[in-house]
Chains A and B, each alone.
Chain A
Amino acid sequence: MSTVVLTLGDDVSTDVIYPGRYMATVLPTETPQFAFADLTEFNAKLKTKQVPPGSVLVAGKNFGCGSSREQAVSTLKGHELVIVAKGFARIFTQNSVNLGLKLVEVPDLEAKDGDELEIGATEVVNTTSGKRFRIVPLPPARQALIDAGGLIAYTRKRLLATVK
C-alpha cells in the first residue's frame, strides 16, 4: 500500500521537477535535494525525510515533458518515489527506465492527496475510493532494461560479452 503525497496536473515539465538553475549539480547522490525546488513546501518535506520511500506522486498527461536532463529522474529516484500518471513524455520515460525510477501509466486514474493506492502488475486499486484502474504495460524493449537492473548494468553486460 502506498500513499499519494502530491497530486499534479498535466504537462509537468522537467523545469518544474528539477529547475534549470540547479543543473550544474549532476551526480545522482547530490540531485535529490533539489526535487521540486520551487514547490517549497513539498521540497522541505522531502529534505526532512517526511516522505517515506515508496510514496506516490500522482500526475496527469505528459509528465516529464521538456528537457532531457537526467537530474529530473535521479532527483525523484533518490527519494524512491513512485510516479503514477495518465501519461509520460518520451525522454523522461526512457531516462526512468535507464535509472530504475518506477513509472506507472494509468490513463483513467482518479486519485487525490492522502489516498492509498495498491499498485499491482496490471491494475491500480485506489483503496480509499474503492475504484480500480488499468495499467498500460511497458513495451517489452523497456521492460528488458528494467529486468537487467537498469542501463548501466545492461551496458556493462554487453560490453563484457563483446570483449570475450
Chain B
Amino acid sequence: MGMTVVEKILARASGRARVKAGDVLEPAVDLAMSHENAALVINQFHEVYKGTGLEPKLWDPSRIAIIFDHRVPAESPKTATNQKKVREFVGKHGIAKFHDIRGDLGGICHQILPENGYVRPGAVVLGTDSHTTSHGALGALAFGIGATEMASVWALGVALNVEVPATIKVVVNGTLPEMVGPKDLILHLVGLLTAEGANFRVLEFHGETIRAMNTSGRLVLCNMSVEAGATSGIVPADAETLRYLREEAGVADALTPVTPDPDATYVRTMEIDASKLEPQIACPHTVDNVKPIGKVVGTKVHQIVIGSCTNGRLDDLEVAARILRGKKVAKDVRMLVFPASGRIYAQALLKGYVGDFMQAGAVVMNPGCGPCLGVHEGALGDGETALSTTNRNFKGRMGNPTSDVYLCSPAVAAASALTGTITDPREKQGGAQ
C-alpha cells in the first residue's frame, strides 16, 4: 500500500521505510517556530531542566525561529517585558532566525517563514500557533502545538508521541470565476467539512485549480485548513513551489518535493468544482457558518479589515487597491489594512497600493496580527460589526464579546468598504468620489 504526503514526510523524519495512519512516531523537527508566546516556551524549557543538574541547552538554535507579530509594537509594559525577555534569550542562545519589530525584516510569522525560505518541501515544521498549518503550502508537514510541547522540542529536537494522521484528499478542478479566489474556496470547504470535520486529519490538496494557483493562494488554503480542525493542510510541492522558493524566497540549495503514491490510502475524497463558486462569507460566530454572499448582502458593517496571515499578501492588497483606487471608503466605516510583512509593505508602497488605500480613506497599519485576535488595536465597540479577511470570527475574537465578525475575501472587503454594507464585488460599485 502506498503512502500519502504526510506519511512519507513522517517516515523520512522518523527514519522508517514506511508508516501508516495511526502509527506513533518521534519525528525529527526541521523547524520550530514561536512568536511572542516564546515567553511561555522559555519558562517551560527551564522547567524541563529543573532538578536535572543540566545546563538548559537548545538542541539546535539554527532550527528555531522566533518572530514578534502578535502585539507589535508592544501595547503594554507586560508585553514589552515579555518581548525583552525573549530578546535576551535569543541573544544568549544564538538564535539567528529572529525577526524583531522592524520595518525591513519583520512581519507575521506565517509570512516571514515562507518569504525567507525557512520552509522546504518535505520538512517537519512545528509552531506554537494554530495557523502553522499555512506552511503546508510549500509541501511541508506543518502543524500547531502548545508552548510546553515546544519546550520539549527545544530540548530534544523531536516531537514526542506523534500519531500519524489520516488524510482527506481534496480535489479541486475548474477555473475560479472573476472576483472569486482562494479565500472563497477554503471558506466553502470549511463549511462543507464543518469546524470539526477534519479533526486529527490532514487535508491534501489536488486538482487543476490547485496546480494553477500561486503559492500565495495555497498559503490561504493551508492557513485555514485548521478551521476545519485539520492537523495540517498540504499542497504537494510542484513547479510553482520551486519557482516561489527560488525566485521569491532566494533558496539556492537542493529541494526535494514529496508527492503521494498513486495507491495511497485516504479516509475520504472530496471533489469541488471551482468554476461554480461564488464569493463566500463566514458568519458569526463560527468559521463553518459559511454562506454564499447573496444571503448576507446589505448587512451593515462598521469596520473593514484587510490583512493577517490569511490575506495580507501582495496579491490580496492588489485586488483591494484596484477596487478602491480613486474611490472613497463609505462614511461611518473604518477601514484598516495590515500588510503581512515589511517586505510586502515595501512592495505595496512601490506599486502604489498604499497610496490608493490612504487616498480612499483607509488606515494602513504596520505589519502584524493587528485586530485579528483582539489584543492590540482595532478593537470593536459594543454591538459593532466587522467584515474581515482574517481567519476567525469566534465570539469575542476581535476583543469585544458583544460584536460580530464576518469573514471574507479581500475583494469582498474592498467592495464593502465603498458601501458600508456587505457587497458583492462582482457588481460594479460607484463609490463616492
- Hey, which bits of chain A sit against chain B, CB under 8 A? 11, 13, 15-16, 19-21, 23-27, 38, 61-62, 65-71, 73, 87, 89-91, 94-95, 98-99, 139-142, 144-145, 150-152, 154-156, 158-160, 162-163
Q: Which of B50, B144, B374 contacts A68 (CB 8 A)?
A: B144
Chain B residues positioned under 8 Å from A87 (CB to CB)? 196, 199
- Binary per-residue interface labels of chain B (236-252) against chain A in the complex, 1 for a CB within 8 Å, 0 otherwise: 00000000000000000
> A65–B190 Cα gap in the complex (Å)?
13
Contact status of A15 and B375, CB under 8 A, knowing A26-B82, A155-B156:
no
Q: Point out the residues of chain A lying under 8 angstroms from B70, CB to CB.
A: 23
Distance A158 CA – B48 CA, assembled complex (angstroms): 10
Report which B residues bind A (CB closer than 8 A): 24, 36-37, 39-40, 43-44, 47-52, 54, 70-71, 76, 78-79, 82, 127-130, 132, 144-149, 151-152, 155-156, 160-163, 195-196, 199-200, 229, 231, 286, 288, 373-375, 392, 394-397, 399, 401
How far is it, in angstroms, between the C-alpha of A140 and the C-alpha of B76 when the chains are bound? 43
> Residue of A at shortest CB range from B132?
A68
Which of these, B37, B144, B152, B392, contacts A91 with CB under 8 Å? Answer: B144
Interfacial chain A residues near B147, Cβ < 8 Å: 26, 70
Q: What are 15 A-B contacts with C-beta separation under 8 Å?
A: A11-B196, A15-B395, A21-B374, A23-B373, A24-B79, A26-B37, A27-B40, A61-B196, A66-B392, A70-B37, A91-B145, A95-B146, A151-B152, A155-B151, A156-B48
| Docked CA distance A145–B149 (Å) | 11
Given contact pairs A68-B130, A141-B24, A156 touches B52 in the complex (Cβ within 8 A) = yes
| A13-B394, A26-B82, A91-B144 given; A159·B155 CB < 8 A | yes
* Least CB distance, B51 to chain A, in whole angstroms: 8
**Given A23-B375, A151-B152, A159-B54, are A140 and B24 neighbors across the interface (CB < 8 Å)?**
yes
User: Are B199 and A90 in contact, with the CB atoms below 8 A?
Assistant: yes
Indicate if the CB atoms of A145 and B128 lie closer than 8 Å.
Answer: no
Determine the chain B residues whose CB is within 8 A of the CB of A70 once the complex forms: 37, 40, 146-148
Name 4 extra pairs, CB < 8 A, besides A26-B43, A152-B47, A152-B148.
Answer: A19-B374, A27-B40, A62-B229, A150-B148
Nearest CB of A to B22, in Å:
8
A15: nearest chain-B partner, CB-CB: B394
Known: A26-B43, A152-B44. A139 touches B163 (CB 8 A): yes
* Contact status of A25 and B196, CB under 8 A, knowing A15-B395, A20-B375, A95-B149: no
Complex contact A20–B229 (CB within 8 A): no
Closest 7 CB pairs between A and B?
A: A62-B196, A95-B146, A26-B40, A13-B394, A155-B152, A70-B146, A141-B161
Interchain CB contact under 8 A, B395 and A151: no
User: Cβ of A13: which chain B residues have Cβ within 8 Å of it?
Assistant: 392, 394-395, 397
Distance, CA A138 to CA B248, complexed state (A): 44
Contact of A19 with B48 in the complex, beta carbons under 8 Å: no
> Contact at B48–A24, with CB atoms within 8 Å?
no
Q: Bound state CA distance, A23 and B229, in angstroms?
A: 22
Residue of A nearest to B373 (CB): A20
CA distance A89 to B201 in the complex (A): 11
Smallest CB separation, B408 vs chain A (Å): 19
Q: Contact check: which of A65, A73, A150 meets B229 at CB < 8 Å?
A: A65
* Chain A binding surface SS class: helix
Contacts of B231 in A (CB 8 A): 90
Which of A38, A90, A141, A156 neighbours the largest number of chain B CB atoms within 10 Å of its CB? Answer: A90
Report the nearest A residue to B152, measured CB to CB.
A155
Q: Which residue of B lies closest to A86 (CB)?
A: B196
Of A68, A99, A145, which is in contact with the most chain B CB atoms at under 10 Å from its CB? A68
In the assembled complex, the CB of A147 is this many whole angstroms from the nearest CB of chain B, namely 12
Q: Which of A66, A98, A140, A158 contacts B146 (CB 8 A)?
A: A98
Closest to A88 in B: B199
Cα distance A74–B188 in the bound complex, in angstroms:
34
A159 to B160, CA, bound (A): 12
Rounded to whole angstroms, the CA-CA distance of A19 and B376 in the bound complex is 12
Q: Once the chains are docked, how many angstroms separate the CA of A16 from the CA of B393?
A: 11
Closest to A72 in B: B146
Contact between A20 and B199, CB atoms less than 8 A apart: no
Are B395's CB and A141's CB within 8 A? no
Chain A's nearest CB lies how many Å from the CB of B49?
A: 8
A155 to chain B: which residues have CB within 8 Å? 48, 151-152, 155-156, 160
Q: Counting chain A CB atoms within 10 Å of each CB, which of B50, B149, B200 scores highest? A: B149
In angstroms, Cα B161 to Cα A144, docked, is: 9
Residues of chain A lying within 8 A (CB to CB) of residue B155: 155, 159
* Chain A residues near B286 (CB-CB < 8 A): 11
A20 touches B160 (CB 8 A): no
A68-B144, A70-B148 given as contacts; is B160 within 8 A of A154 (CB)?
yes
CA distance in complex: A151, B149 (Å): 7
A95 to B392, CA, bound (A): 20
Complex interface: chain B residues within 8 A of A139 (CB): 24, 163
Contacts of A142 in B (CB 8 A): 161
A137 to B395, CA, bound (A): 31
Return chain B residues, CB-CB under 8 Å to A160: 52, 54
A15 near B396: Cβ-Cβ < 8 Å: yes
C-alpha gap A142/B199 in the complex (Å): 16
Nearest CB in chain A: distance from B66 CB, A:
15
The distance in angstroms between the C-alpha atoms of A111 and B40, with both chains bound, is 35
What residues of A have a CB within 8 angstroms of the CB of B162 in the complex?
A: 141
